[in-house]
């Protein structure tokens, strides 16, 4: 496809707690943009505090997509996100605005901009297979699921973290449904992309994660989780497996003290931030900006200038 016929797409990625949200709002204001969240937990309705979801009144009039698009008892995959985000980008461009993808779910970003091909699946059959895989993992151990996956789809086995049960389930579900491994080969991108990773040193990220966890607890994360459970959301649902939620579910069922809950949230979030940094280092087209050395104003000015010079011309 001729590059001139492709939609422009600005990506502001990076690890959790780096400070992407405030910068994305300012850039969207400067460039007449609309934000598409790329956060695997913010898609769920009712998961607000633990996902640092930006409330409507705090969005400064900037249109936001990819937030509150599915009930918390439903599953949501990378293929679902691709199916959602592609028409959203087209809609934003047709409105005369710049689509700005903001978030830290690296696989979703890659699947979108590299146009991964996903095989269509019959929903009922797929649901039964998904439940069967989760039963194997929960009752017999997820090492067995990983062993099966290594046999049928070694690429996914090596790409997916052992604790990422949702992606392990998805990869094996695709193979058992279609007889083919999860597609990982990039296609020609339908977008002209400007890809930025906003980051900080690990020590600074760790400190910010600790502060943010304490603030989430103060704002009422435990009550949010209790309300979700009271409303019938399963403790084993994809939504409640998100970091911050799974640890609070353990506390809700008496399997962790408040102190243990908070320590686990911080520990798991820090581990996730490290995995995010590792992932984004493999994105060859991404450019990095360290927010510990550059002021937010400098970062905003730099990205806005670059986008005007190279993406919107």
Residue 36 CB partners (closer than 8 Å, separation 6+) = 64, 65, 66, 85, 88, 89, 92, 99, 100, 101, 102
Q: Which tens digit of pLDDT belongs to each residue from 258-268? A: 999 999 999 99
For residues 267 and 272, what is the distance between their CA atoms, to the nearest angstrom? 9
Q: Which tens digit of pLDDT belongs to each residue from 84-94? A: 999 999 999 99
Q: Which tens digit of pLDDT belongs to each residue from 138-179? A: 889 999 999 999 999 998 888 888 888 888 888 888 888 777
Whether the domain at 3-117+185-311 and the domain at 123-178 fall into the same CATH topology: no
pLDDT at 120 over 90: no
pLDDT score for 1: 46
Q: Which tens digit of pLDDT belongs to each residue from 10-21? A: 999 999 999 999
Tell me the C-alpha to C-alpha distance, in Å, between residue 55 and each of 52, 62, 174, 218, 227: 9, 12, 35, 17, 19
Two structure tokens written together for 241: 């497996």
Range in 187-201, 221-235, 243-257 the model is least confident about? 187-201
pLDDT band at 117 (very low <50, low <70, confident <90, very high): confident
For residues 97 and 89, what is the distance between their CA atoms, to the nearest angstrom? 9
Residues 249/225, Cβ–Cβ less than 8 Å: yes
CA-based radius of gyration for the chain? 19
Task: State percent of the chain over pLDDT 70.
Answer: 94
pLDDT at 123 over 70: no
Phi, psi angle pair for 98, to nearest 5°: -95, 120
pLDDT score for 227: 98
For residues 221 and 280, what is the distance between their CA atoms, to the nearest angstrom? 29
For the chain, the helix, strand and coil percentages under 3-state DSSP, each to the nearest 5: 55, 10, 35
Residues 102/28, Cβ–Cβ less than 8 Å: no
- Domain 3-117+185-311 CATH superfamily: P-loop containing nucleotide triphosphate hydrolases (3.40.50.300)
Question: What fold characterizes domain 123-178?
Answer: Histone, subunit A (1.10.20)
pLDDT score for 159: 81
pLDDT score for 78: 86
Torsion of CA 22, 228, 247, 56, to 10 degrees: 0
Residues 2/263, Cβ–Cβ less than 8 Å: no
pLDDT score for 103: 97
Q: Which residues of 166-182 are buried (b: 16+ CB within 10 A; e: fewer)?
A: bbbbbbbbbbbbeeebb
> Mean pLDDT in the chain?
92
Q: Domain-by-domain residue ranges, the chain?
A: 3-117+185-311, 123-178
pLDDT at 126 over 80: no
Q: Is-above-0.95 flag for pTM?
A: no
């Amino acid at each position: 496809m001729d590059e001139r016929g492709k939609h422009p797409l600005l990506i502001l990625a990076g690890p959790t707690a780096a400070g992407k949200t405030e910068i994305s709002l300012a850039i969207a204001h400067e460039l007449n943009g609309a934000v598409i969240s790329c956060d695997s937990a913010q898609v769920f309705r009712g998961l607000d505090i633990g996902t640092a979801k930006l409330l409507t009144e705090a969005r400064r009039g900037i249109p936001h997509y990819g937030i509150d698009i599915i009930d918390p008892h439903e599953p949501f995959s990378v293929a679902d996100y691709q199916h959602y985000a592609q028409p959203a980008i087209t809609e934003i461009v047709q409105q005369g605005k710049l689509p700005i993808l903001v978030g830290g779910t690296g696989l979703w970003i890659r699947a979108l901009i590299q146009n991964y091909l996903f095989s269509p699946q019959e929903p009922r059959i797929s649901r039964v297979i998904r439940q069967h895989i989760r039963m194997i993992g929960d009752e017999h151990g997820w090492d067995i699921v990983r062993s099966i996956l290594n046999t049928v789809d070694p690429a996914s086995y090596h790409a997916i973290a052992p604790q990422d049960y949702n992606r392990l389930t998805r990869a094996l579900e695709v193979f058992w449904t279609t007889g083919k491994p999860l597609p990982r080969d990039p296609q020609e991108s339908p977008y002209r992309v400007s890809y930025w990773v906003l980051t900080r040193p690990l020590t600074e990220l760790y400190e910010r994660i600790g502060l943010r966890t304490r603030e989430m607890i103060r704002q009422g994360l435990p009550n949010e989780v209790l309300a979700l459970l009271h409303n019938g959301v399963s403790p084993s649902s994809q939504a409640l497996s998100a970091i911050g939620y799974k640890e609070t579910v353990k506390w809700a069922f008496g399997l962790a003290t408040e102190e243990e809950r908070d320590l686990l949230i911080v520990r798991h979030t820090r581990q996730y931030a490290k995995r995010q940094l590792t992932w984004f280092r493999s994105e060859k087209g991404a450019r990095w900006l360290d927010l510990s050395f550059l002021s937010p104003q400098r970062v905003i000015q730099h990205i806005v200038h670059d986008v005007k010079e190279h993406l919107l011309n």
